[in-house]
């Protein structure tokens, strides 16, 4: 399947793996790339730029296909060594970077001068237009369904993607809510040039997550995610657990008076405890509504081939059949 996204990143299929904290490591990224998608390392999972350089090299040992790196710009005082991470990406020969978080403007020229194609993650059309004006090559558009930080506009894919098609000149992908070929075809129909999968790739054999995490995904339904930290303007979709229930109750009780310190115990430094150690009630962890559609733990190869087979079947059989019947009528 050829789209502007497959051509931009030199991949076989228009499927990108999301940059998940403590999950976007060499074994997962390489497996996705080997299967024809774009595997993505998560830069800030690596403590230093030198560690990222080593992880890029480790990924290169596992695949000769294109890989990407997610680089999130955080609005914090003690910022990571962003110049070092950018240099590690360029020196490592990585040709695709997903930027996220704060405005990536000061880094776009440096990345592109190093031969890197930049796809920026946005939660609104206005932010996507701003990123386009900064010179990024593509947009990853987060909508209401997605895991993690989804913004505050609460716009679902059916509206968001159609608006993006109306407004953007550069290609964009649908991020969140996609599990199978049905989601891919729907995204393409709405103007996207591909899809970005996070939670779905977390539930694969190669994902370096504890078995408890994968089982929690299998056990969950589409009603088991919660929105937290909206009063703090740091809105995040997470999977419900006892820690998340405490956050929701505190936010309900305190309203706009809630402070970060009130929920810090449930959100600070909890990802490693959940993702690596399997402590499922240790704190809040990002998870999309697509969790309600996930029923197995395949390999990345099996998952991507299944998505593409389903997509081809929908396009060639069901949609072609509908079109034929319309013409006859």
Where do the domains of the chain lie?
Answer: 4-208
pTM: 0.94
Which residues are bridge partners to 197 per DSSP? 17
Mean pLDDT, the chain, integer? 95
Q: Above 90 in pLDDT, residue 328?
A: no
What does the pLDDT look like over 126-158, one tens digit per residue? 999 999 999 999 999 999 999 999 999 999 999
Q: Which residue in 164, 229, 216, 202 sits closest to 298, CA to CA?
A: 202
What percent of the chain is modeled with pLDDT above 70? 98
Q: How confident is the model at residue 212 (pLDDT cuts 50, 70, 90)?
A: very high
C-beta of residue 307 within 8 angstroms of C-beta of residue 201: no
**What letter would DSSP give residue 315?**
I
CATH architecture of 4-208: Alpha-Beta Barrel (3.20)
Please give the order of strands across the beta sheet that includes 195-197: 15-17, 195-197, 172-175, 138-142, 117-122, 96-101, 67-73, 39-42
CA 89, CA 82: separation in Å to the nearest integer? 11
Q: Above 80 in pLDDT, residue 324?
A: no
Q: How confident is the model at residue 76 (pLDDT cuts 50, 70, 90)?
A: confident
CA distances 69 to 34, 195, 200, 226, 293, Å, are 16, 16, 18, 28, 27
């Amino acid at each position: 399947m050829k789209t502007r996204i497959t051509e931009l990143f030199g991949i076989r299929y228009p499927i990108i793996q999301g940059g998940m904290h403590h999950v976007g490591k060499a074994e997962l990224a390489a497996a996705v790339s080997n299967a024809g998608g774009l595997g993505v390392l998560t830069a800030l999972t690596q403590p230093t730029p030198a560690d990222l350089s080593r992880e890029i090299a480790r990924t290169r040992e596992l695949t000769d296909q294109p890989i990407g790196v997610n680089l999130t710009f955080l609005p914090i005082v003690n910022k990571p060594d962003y110049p070092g991470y950018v240099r590690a990406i360029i020196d490592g020969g990585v040709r695709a970077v997903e930027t996220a978080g704060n405005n990536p403007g000061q880094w776009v020229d440096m990345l592109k001068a190093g031969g890197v194609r930049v796809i920026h993650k946005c939660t609104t059309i206005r932010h996507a237009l701003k990123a386009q004006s900064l010179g990024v090559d593509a947009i990853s558009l987060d909508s209401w369904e997605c895991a993690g930080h989804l913004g505050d506009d609460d716009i679902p894919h059916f509206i968001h993607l159609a608006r993006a098609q109306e407004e953007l000149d550069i290609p964009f992908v649908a991020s969140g809510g996609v599990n199978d070929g049905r989601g891919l075809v729907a995204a393409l129909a709405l103007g996207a040039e591909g899809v970005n999968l996070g939670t779905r790739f977390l539930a694969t054999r190669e994902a370096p997550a504890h078995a408890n995490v994968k089982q929690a995904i299998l056990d969950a339904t589409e009603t088991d995610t919660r929105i937290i930290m909206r009063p703090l303007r740091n809105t995040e979709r997470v999977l419900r657990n006892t820690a998340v229930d405490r956050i929701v109750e505190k936010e309900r009780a305190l309203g706009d008076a809630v402070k970060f310190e009130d929920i810090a115990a449930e959100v600070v430094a909890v990802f490693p405890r959940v993702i690596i150690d399997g402590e499922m009630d240790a704190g809040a962890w990002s998870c999309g509504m697509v969790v309600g559609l996930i029923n197995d733990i395949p390999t990345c190869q099996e998952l991507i081939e299944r998505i593409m087979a389903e997509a081809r079947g929908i396009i060639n059989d069901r949609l072609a059949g509908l079109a034929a019947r319309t013409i006859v009528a």
